[in-house]
Structures are given as C-alpha cells and as structure tokens.
C-alpha cells in the first residue's frame, strides 16, 4: 500500500505528516517506529496524522519515535495549521485544531499566499501533581529537590496537556543529555514518563533550552516544553508574566507569553518536501 506524506518541521522538531482526509493510515504506532528511523526510514521525530474533525477544522494525532501517542505537540500543531492553509486550501487566518488535550486555536500570518508564522493558544498550564502526573504531594511542584541517578536536581513540574519537568542549569550546551535524559524520563516519580527541559536563563526575557522528549529522545525543539519552561521560569521568579520570552532551542527560536488567560506560543512552520512511501 502506498501513502502520500509531507515532511515538515517547527524549529527542527520534524515529523512525517499524513493527510487522513483522503487516505487511511493503519497501525500508526508501528508506522511511527518504522518511518521515523533516520537510517532505514524517512527520518523524523515521529509521525502526525491530519484527520477530519466534527468540532474543529481538523484533528491532529501525533506519535512519538517509539510509537507512543502524545496528547499534544506544539511544533506539530503549527505545521498542521500551515498544511491546512497552504495545501488543503482552508483560507482562514484563525483555525481550530482538535487534539487529545482539547481544541486549540491558531492565528496564522500569511505571506505570498503561504502561512509562515503561527501563534497558538496553548491553554492554561496544569500545575497540580495528580494532573501532571507526578507522585509528589502539594498543590504544585516548584523548585523541588529530587535525586536522579545518584545526583541532586531541583525540578518544577508543569502539564501543557502533556507532562513536563523543568530543571534550571548554569549552562546547557555541554549537558550529557543522552545519559541523563532517559533517567528523568523513566524516573519512578513520573507514572506516565515525562518530557524534561534543561533551561539556562540568559536574562528575564531570554532563555536557552534543551529537551529530552518522552518517546523521542533529544529533539531540536519542543513547543509544549518551551511553554512549560516559561511557566516554570515565572513560578520561580526568573521571568515576568504577560511579556514575550524568547526561548532559544537547538533548531530555532519560539516566543512564549504566559498570561492569566493561558500560554501563547508563536513560531515558524516549515515544509521540507512531499513524498510517497510504500508501507
Ligand atoms: N515535540 C512536542 C511534544 C511531543 C509529545 C511528547 N514527546 C509527549 O509524549 O508528551 C512539542 O513540540 O510539543
């Protein structure tokens, strides 16, 4: 069976997108594992299905590199918005997309007939440990000491529809992420595993972040992770609320604003190529 796909990325967080308005994708979990392989597949951080929705312009389903289904993906949702505008011809600069963590609203900036920049209303962060989930007591987990692989860390936990654990560091360039990332992901405090952001605060409006994603390992960017990091910065008194914070990632920059109404993420969405794959 042949499937048409589009390769897209948001700040280097790249996925293989399937338009499920016109075709059926069976067994997305195993397909994600097979096609994401950068040596024997197409290559990507996972796959994304763009499906019809009864309540929104489209429904997004995303699968990590290991085949697990994520509830939300900040970088992918911007690309889905671009695809709906550029390819499916839904010429509205405000779009709604259904995800496993609710319907999200997108505002598109269009240049020469193509969506270039997308702002997403990412909703209100959840801070209570049972909603994240993290097996700790309290109404929120801010600057909490834990031990990971014998070393002490201080964590701040946030759900942006998916679980995040933010760790502040003096620098992130030289962190051995491939060894410490999995120790956080599999830590017994996180019953559903966790996405971990390592954050260096450069100044109150600029932070640098590296991420170890649940199910995909180190990626060049994580949209929900950038939002969780800015929320964690505000909770720790490191960045202001209601102002734009630049999050510098390995693959680009996202602008995040945390307000009482919720978290707003702005960034690019880029198409790389179209293709057909035999599955
Ligand atoms: N890359 C993402 C998040 C993808 C899902 C995550 N790995 C999970 O399982 O929660 C983003 O841009 O938000």
Please report whether residue 21 resides in a domain.
yes
Which of 207, 219, 220, 214 is CA-nearest to residue 255?
A: 207
Question: What is the average pLDDT across 154-158?
Answer: 98
Residues 113 and 156 in one domain: no
Percentage with pLDDT > 70 across the chain: 100
pLDDT of residue 14: 98
Placement of tokens 């030289």 in the chain: 174
Instruction: Please count the structural domains in the chain.
Output: 2
Residues 110 and 184 in one domain: no
State the average pLDDT for the chain: 98
Residue 43 tokens, joined: 């290559």
3-state secondary structure of 274: strand
Within 10 angstroms of residue 101's Cβ, the number of other Cβ atoms is 18
Q: Is 257 in the pocket of ligand 1 (CB under 6 A)?
A: no
Please report whether residue 134 resides in a domain.
no
Dihedral sign for Cα 75, 77, 80, 84, please: negative
Task: Return the residue whose CA atom lies nearest to atom 3 of ligand 1.
Answer: 73
Residues 273 and 249 in one domain: no
- Which residue range is the domain that position 193 belongs to? 144-260
Residues 80 and 187 in one domain: no
Q: Is the ipTM of this complex over 0.90?
A: yes
Question: What is the average pLDDT across 130-135?
Answer: 98
Q: What is the pTM of this model?
A: 0.98
Ligand 1, atom nearest to 64 Cα: 7
Please report whether residue 71 resides in a domain.
yes
3-state secondary structure of 226: helix
* Angle at the Cα of 108 from the Cα atoms of 10 and 44, rounded to 5 degrees: 20
Residues 209 and 230 in one domain: yes
Task: Return the residue whose CA atom lies nearest to atom 9 of ligand 1.
Answer: 70
pLDDT of residue 178: 97
Question: What is the average pLDDT across 127-153?
Answer: 97
Instruction: Assign residue 15 the CATH number of its domain.
Output: 3.10.310.10
Residue 232 tokens, joined: 């964690």
Instruction: Write out pLDDT tens, residues 13-35.
Output: 999 999 999 999 999 999 999 99
Residues 53 and 109 in one domain: yes
**Ligand 1 centroid – CA 70 distance (Å):** 6
**Ligand 1 centroid – CA 112 distance (Å):** 30
Within 10 angstroms of residue 273's Cβ, the number of other Cβ atoms is 9
Task: Return the residue whose CA atom lies nearest to atom 8 of ligand 1.
Answer: 70
Please report whether residue 132 resides in a domain.
no
Please report whether residue 133 resides in a domain.
no
Ligand 1, atom nearest to 223 Cα: 12
Residues 152 and 116 in one domain: no
């Amino acid at each position: 069976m042949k499937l048409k796909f589009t390769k897209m990325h948001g700040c280097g967080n790249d996925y293989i997108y399937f338009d499920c308005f016109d075709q059926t994708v069976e067994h997305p979990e195993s397909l994600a594992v097979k096609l994401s392989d950068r040596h024997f597949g197409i290559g990507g951080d996972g796959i994304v299905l763009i499906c019809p929705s009864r309540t929104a312009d489209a429904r997004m389903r995303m699968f990590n590199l290991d085949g697990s289904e994520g509830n939300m993906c900040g970088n992918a949702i911007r690309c889905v918005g671009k695809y709906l505008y550029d390819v499916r011809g839904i010429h509205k600069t405000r779009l709604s997309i259904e995800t496993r963590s609710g319907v999200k609203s997108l505002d598109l900036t269009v240049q020469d007939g193509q969506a270039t920049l997308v702002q997403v209303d990412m909703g209100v962060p959840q801070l209570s440990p049972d909603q994240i989930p993290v097996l700790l007591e309290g109404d929120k987990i801010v600057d909490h000491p834990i031990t990971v692989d014998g070393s002490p860390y201080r964590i701040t936990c946030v759900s942006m529809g998916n679980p995040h654990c933010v760790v502040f560091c003096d620098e992130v360039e030289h962190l051995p992420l491939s060894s410490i990332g999995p120790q956080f992901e599999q830590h017994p405090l996180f019953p559903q595993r966790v996405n971990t952001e390592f954050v260096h605060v450069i100044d109150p409006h600029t932070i640098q972040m590296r991420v170890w994603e649940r199910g995909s390992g180190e990626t060049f960017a994580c949209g929900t992770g950038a939002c969780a990091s800015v929320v964690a910065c505000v909770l720790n008194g490191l960045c202001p609320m209601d102002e734009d914070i630049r999050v510098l990632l390995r693959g680009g920059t996202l602008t995040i604003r945390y307000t009482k109404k919720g978290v707003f993420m702005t960034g690019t969405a880029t198409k790389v190529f179209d293709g057909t794959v035999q599955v």
